[in-house]
Amino acid sequence: MARWGSQAHPAMQVPRPSVREAASMYGTAVAVFLVILVAALQGSVPAESPFPYHIPLDPEGTLELSWNVSYVQETVHFQLLVRDFKAGVLFGMSDRGELENADLVVLWTNGDRAYFGDAWSDPSGQIHLDSQQDYQLLQARRTPEGLCLLFKRPFSTCDPRDYLIEDGTVHLVYGILEQPFPSLEAINTSVLQTGLQRVQLLKPNISTPTLPSDMLTMEIRAPDVLVPGQETTYWCYISELPDGFARHHIVMYEPIVTKGNEALVHHMEVFQCAAEFESVPRFSGPCDSKMKPDRLNYCRHVLAAWALGAKAFYYPEEAGLAFGGPGSSRFLRLEVHYHNPLKIQGRHDSSGIRLYYTATLRRFNAGIMELGLVYTPVMAVPPQEIAFVLTGYCTDKCTQMALPPSGIHIFASQLHTHLTGRKVVTVLARDGREREIVNRDDHYSPHFQEIRMLKKVVSVHPGDVLITSCTYNTGDRTLATVGGFGILEEMCVNYVHYYPQTQLELCKSAVDTGFLQKYFHLVNRFNSEEVCTCPQASVPDQFASVPWNSFNRNVLKALYGFAPISMHCNKSSAVRFQVCHPVCVLGAHTVGQVGNPQPHPQPLLGAQWQPLQLPTPLCPHQPSFHRCPV
């Protein structure tokens, strides 16, 4: 822990630190006289200027975080700018953005001296000094904008109280100390102004592709939106390509955020409307407005997506995303998510996305393919589940039929669930073995979805299998959550961006409906409560009548793990590929026919199924975040 001290005020006694604080101070303290906070060096600042990523942490813009990633050193360098510094600040990470059980670094003052240290919070929110100081202070200085702290931390510290920084979403937490505290352990997060921000810290280290000389730009932005004074707003705006707009390739896009609204604009997406509609009504308003034209619901083809903290998105030099020309809609829908927890009134915004495109078509068209589960209520999550897993398959028969002999190359991915999703992973399997992870987010949040460049391009060959699993938490729900399009229903999707484009646009599965009906009959037979299994009852109604005891829960898990599946191997026209051979599902799943599963499932591979072997960690295995006892 680092400490700064000033000349003692005659009337002020410096509080005694606790024994543990004193021991840490003895080994790591740096004390200097200060009128303002000055540099306190315990390491070297990265050579090049070094902070390509920036996000505002709080809605007022008091705290701004910048960072850089060194994969060689397996270290993240942070720069935290504190405007209007009062009596201290805390910053850190936790499993889901809670301030309890958080891994923290704290700068605080007791009114006479300022201290900096690695800390953690217990389940009651009380802060404690960490016996292992893994946040290393590099510099602290005053700037015209405010107090600037530069510090670093390894990805993994082997400290059970520390958060393991890994790929995927990281929930950052912060707190502002408005008055001095006599000691670190006198601070409780419950009395602070606190908040959270979600971000992908470990950005891929990918070189910027060369851009074409004839590149043009197009801005898709909603003009002069009066941001509603409510916490969450999704704003929809219809834009139109010029008449006769020929086919082009999008090679890059970047966000346009109205100055001053950086903390309000949470994420943005541009969708292309369905080509079968010759016109789409003009609209600019909340996406859930009753005045929204129905045709906006058919604008679902993603062209661009950005989320807070993301930089410009580049396509590989050999591929571009086609838009315009015959068979392509001229209508685009911009969707902007405003996050306004302070319910600020009267703020105007014209944010959007700038597309960079070229008329010189690249060698390959890029495509977007949906993996995971079909949007159907037959895939459901019981209530009061903390980590219920559903899995969807893109089977070997589908990839054998639909992919070119040379295969495809996945370079980016966007994971998607609705409100109860907590984890998402897609794995590629070949010859009965899981070969590599396509994308994984163990701290996934439905409130933070972006297209992410993969660190390594994943090649998928004919006969490969893509397995997408989603983990859900329905602890706050009293009824089953069924699959579907509604926000209170669920999805499990990975939109993979790849090249060369094929006719395959959707490769998903769901449990066979016949076997699900057998489940309802079984539940009805073994439970005293009546479960409506009559033909007139819908699947959601049937799930709503299930008494969720341990037997019914376990049987449903077994059904999803072993019953035959219905495979959807669809072209962009929504017509299915004619896969005539049995659909083989790896692992504990079974063999079945597309649309007509075999009535008696036969396990395939069984014990021969080989899971993916992950690299051995540098320290003993531990969860990403360890909830420590008081």
Q: Would residue 318 be called left, alpha or beta, if left means φ above 0 and alpha means ψ between -120 and 50 degrees?
A: alpha
> Which has the closest alpha carbon to 107: 14, 55, 174?
174
Catalytic residue among 416, 418, 497, 568: 416
C-beta of residue 255 within 8 angstroms of C-beta of residue 356: no
Residue 497 designated active-site = no
Sequence-ordered list of residues with C-beta below 8 angstroms from that of 522, at least 6 positions apart, any chain: 555
Nearest residue to 211 (alpha-carbon basis) of 246, 241, 247, 249: 249
Cis peptide upstream of residue 500 (ω within 30 degrees of 0)? yes
Q: Are 162 and 622 in contact (CB under 8 A)?
A: no
Spatial CA neighbour of 226 closest among 301, 329, 336? 336
Q: Which of 579, 573, 574, 584 is nearest to 595 (CA)?
A: 579
Active site residue 234: yes
The token pair at 169 is 């979403």
User: How far apart, in whole angstroms, are the C-alpha atoms of residue 79 and residue 140?
Assistant: 10
The amino acid present at 41, given as its one-letter code, is: L
Q: Among 287, 19, 63, which Cα is nearest to 195's? A: 63
Q: Evaluate whether 504 touches 571 at the Cβ level (below 8 Å).
A: yes
Identify the CA nearest to 73 among candidates 46, 106, 107.
Answer: 46
CB 111 within 8 A of CB 619: no
What residues are labeled active site? Answer: 234, 416
